[in-house]
Structure 1
Amino acid sequence: MSKQDLQHAASLWWTPSVHADRRPILLARGRIEAALREYLAARDFLMVDPPGLQRSPGNETHLHAFGTKMIGNDGVGQAMYLHTSPEFTMKKLLAAGERRIASLQHVWRNRERSALHHPEFTMLEWYRAGEPFEAVIRDCLAMLKLAAEAARSKLLRFRDRECDPFAEAERLSVVEAFQRYAGIDLLATMDTEGATDGEALAEQMASLGMHVPEDLSWSYLFSLILTDKVEPKLGIGRVTVLDRYPAAEAALARRAEDDRRVSERFELYACGVELANGFGELTDAGEQRRRFAAEMAEKERLYGERYPVDEDFLAALALMPEASGVALGFDRLVMLATAAPRIEAVLWAPVAE
């Protein structure tokens, strides 16, 4: 597929010549989906179908939703959103008594479009009740191998980067990664309870000659360093499991038992691309409400808006068992397994620009 065809795929995907070029990748997409569904079925996962229309799209600072309005029979409208993840519904199903559940469906995120981002994309999300998050990490690693096999490839590729999904994965904490690739001591910018100090992080950045923006919020600086210095080095040659995220960056994860500054959150990287985001799930409703409030306060400060909290979700946490869960970007996995350079190349019908 030529570079010009790739650039115009979002608007010309329906033309015979473009579709003919894209079709081998789309067929590989189908084989990968079948392999992952077979993997989940063999382990007694129940495929569920959460609705995309929700009262709350999620309460994370940098996730932006598509809003709409639901009109009742009386003509009165109610604000609704297309979900950014099926997470809230799936956790309610865990509260209802389900033990192993999975969902493969479309989700929507606004303000996101790039080679790796699309406003509507496919997410594979699954949960294991009563099992540690090591179990879903093993699932992820197995799925990367299955995807490569289904695509008839020995390597995952993104542009000039390669990753062997069959090699033993690298395990790296966020603190270790920041020290190794950015020279930043993250723990020195947090107190014993995980409260963060943006000025301390900015001072380290300045001492290392990094550009320090005007916004000195710790979360913003953390994201900047992660994106610019750390992520491009992850998953090169072999898969990287980046774990033990700072508690401040894990709003839906429980804290690590041995260190309250970090949480049971991991991300999976291949070829410098984030593929999955998983947690040892937080089930404390009071703590979750406090975290949502902090996230929405920061969202309002940065973007001038906030989303409502799903009160049913918080109520369901009281019934939800201990669980681990993960969301995997299915389109990105197909991209890497087929060496596609842009996400539009692996979508049956990209959203028009």
Structure 2
Amino acid sequence: MTDPVTDLVSAPAASPFWQADVLADRLPRLAARGRITAALRSYFAAGDFVEAETPVLQVSPGNEVHLHAFATTLIDNDGTPSRLYLHTSPEFTAKKLLAGGVPRLFTLARVFRNRERTDLHHPEFTLLEWYRAREDYGVLVEDCAGLLRIAADAAGAESLRFRGRSADPRAGVERVTVVEAFRDLAGIDLPASLADADRPDRTVLAAQARAAGIRIADDDTWADIFTRVMVEKIEPRLGHGRPTALMDYPASEAALARRKPSDPRLSERFELYACGVELANGFGELTDAAEQRRRFEADMAEKQRLYGERHPIDADFLAALAAMPPASGIALGVDRLVMLLTGATRITDVLWAPVARHGTAL
């Protein structure tokens, strides 16, 4: 009788990343990754940013509904155990540093997300996050344009490429609002469902989505329908020819962003796309600690309903938030950027050592 645990550990891996022939095929992309990372650092050094090293272990891994964390146990010297998590983003630590007086910072952080493994997702990956105190979130779009240019130069790439799609990394970033994208790409009048910014109208959005050919389930929420329209109608058509910043998401879809003063139905949030692939997610940061707690608590109630679990709220983060200056911040997926600049079709093609799955690394 075999031991399934022993078999899992001892089973030979198929095409492990370290085999000479496998590694030789991957080395050109990995070398480009090193040059790209060095170029990213040079961009921030030229802009007087501080590079912060953020701890992986956190009291809370974040409080977004659909993010799943890895949990671990810290044992103190006296043997007392406590639950900690591998962070899903360095955001909480970075904002604490902003509150402490660091005006501009960036971090290249290894982050961890459970239940995520596709050609574009990996359980462990690298996020580039940067923050600007007292600067508008629109400046981050210009940062993205600059970073794409220098990263392309470092990689020796003429274009960003993914599965037959391409975009010019030196053409600047076009800006399209979420409202415009829903109207022009899906034929949906999104504001019609946002009369109440805190309680978007599911019935109105569902009717329009069905008319656009989107299949809707009876138990789909407004957020579910919004996401389905994004995935089926919007995202695949963004960032063709040149990168696109999808601007100003509905307030309910931006848990950590502040609302637009000119239109409280919307938030100061954008996402950067190239070749139909999301590369970055930026915010005008919410600094109202009471409002942030309310949003976290609502999201954790939804997480409990959907997944039967919730993450703790970091009280120290909320205390720092109350002292944080107005700021903008953004997270960019380094692995995806390397993929698009080297023409890779899987994230594992640009990782030095992919995380094994059941004894198989690739």
TM-score by length of 1: 0.95
Indicate the SS of the match to 1:211.
coil
Match of 2:23 in 1: 19
Match of 1:57 in 2: 61
Indicate the SS of the match to 1:125.
strand
Deviations 1:251-310 (A, max 9, x none): 100111110000100000000000000000000001101111111111111111110000
Indicate the SS of the match to 1:64.
coil
What is the CA–CA distance in structure 2 between the aligned matches of 1:168 and 1:275, rounded to whole Å? Answer: 15
What is the CA–CA distance in structure 2 between the aligned matches of 1:276 and 1:93, rounded to whole Å? Answer: 21
**8 Å Cα contact 2:145-2:172 kept in structure 1:** no
**8 Å Cα contact 1:56-1:309 kept in structure 2:** yes
Aligned-pair distance for 1:76? Answer: 2.1
Unpaired runs of 5+ residues, structure 2, are 1-12, 358-362
Which letter maps to 1:311?
A
Which letter maps to 1:150?
A
> After TM superposition, what 4+ stretches of structure 1 lie above 6 angstroms from structure 2?
none
Indicate which of 275, 278, 281 corresponds to 1:277: 281
Aligned-pair distance for 1:193? Answer: 3.4
What is the CA–CA distance in structure 1 between the aligned matches of 2:191 and 2:296, rounded to whole Å? Answer: 23
2:81 paired with 1:46: no
What is the CA–CA distance in structure 2 between the aligned matches of 1:10 and 1:160, rounded to whole Å? Answer: 28
Match of 1:96 in 2: 100
Indicate which of 158, 172, 181 corresponds to 1:154: 158
Aligned-pair distance for 1:206? Answer: 2.2
Indicate the SS of the match to 2:192.
helix
Match of 2:356 in 1: 352
Indicate which of 28, 31, 36 corresponds to 1:32: 36
TM-score by length of 2: 0.93
Match of 1:71 in 2: 75
Which letter maps to 2:326?
E
Indicate the SS of the match to 1:305.
coil
Aligned-pair distance for 1:84? Answer: 0.4
Indicate which of 113, 117, 142 corresponds to 1:113: 117
Note closer, same or farther for the CA distance 1:74–1:27 as it changes in structure 2 (3 Å cut): same
Indicate which of 244, 248, 252 corresponds to 1:244: 248
**8 Å Cα contact 1:285-1:315 kept in structure 2:** yes
Match of 2:236 in 1: 232
2:315 paired with 1:311: yes
2:328 paired with 1:324: yes
Match of 2:182 in 1: 178
Indicate the SS of the match to 1:17.
helix
What is the CA–CA distance in structure 2 between the aligned matches of 1:11 and 1:277, rounded to whole Å? Answer: 34
Aligned-pair distance for 1:10? Answer: 8.7
What is the CA–CA distance in structure 2 between the aligned matches of 1:242 and 1:95, rounded to whole Å? Answer: 28
**8 Å Cα contact 1:10-1:352 kept in structure 2:** no
Deviations 1:203-239 (A, max 9, x none): 2222333211232211111111111111000001111
Which letter maps to 2:189?
D
What is the CA–CA distance in structure 1 between the aligned matches of 2:220 and 2:348, rounded to whole Å? Answer: 35
What is the CA–CA distance in structure 1 between the aligned matches of 2:274 and 2:261, rounded to whole Å? Answer: 28
2:286 paired with 1:296: no
**8 Å Cα contact 2:197-2:252 kept in structure 1:** no
Indicate the SS of the match to 1:261.
strand
Match of 1:262 in 2: 266
**8 Å Cα contact 1:99-1:129 kept in structure 2:** yes
What is the CA–CA distance in structure 2 between the aligned matches of 1:72 and 1:328, rounded to whole Å? Answer: 35
Which letter maps to 1:307?
H
Which letter maps to 1:283?
T
What is the CA–CA distance in structure 2 between the aligned matches of 1:277 and 1:177, rounded to whole Å? Answer: 17
Indicate the SS of the match to 1:162.
strand
What is the CA–CA distance in structure 2 between the aligned matches of 1:155 and 1:305, rounded to whole Å? Answer: 42
What is the CA–CA distance in structure 2 between the aligned matches of 1:11 and 1:249, rounded to whole Å? Answer: 41
- Percent of paired sites with the same residue: 61
Aligned-pair distance for 1:169? Answer: 2.3
Deviations 1:291-345 (A, max 9, x none): 1111111111111111000000001111100000000000000000111110001
Note closer, same or farther for the CA distance 1:43–1:209 as it changes in structure 2 (3 Å cut): closer
Deviations 1:115-151 (A, max 9, x none): 1000000000010001111221111111111111111
**8 Å Cα contact 1:173-1:244 kept in structure 2:** yes
**8 Å Cα contact 2:141-2:173 kept in structure 1:** no
Mean CA deviation greater in 184-193 or 148-157? 184-193
**8 Å Cα contact 2:339-2:345 kept in structure 1:** yes
Deviations 1:54-95 (A, max 9, x none): 010000111111111111122221111100000000000001
Indicate which of 208, 216, 220 corresponds to 1:216: 220
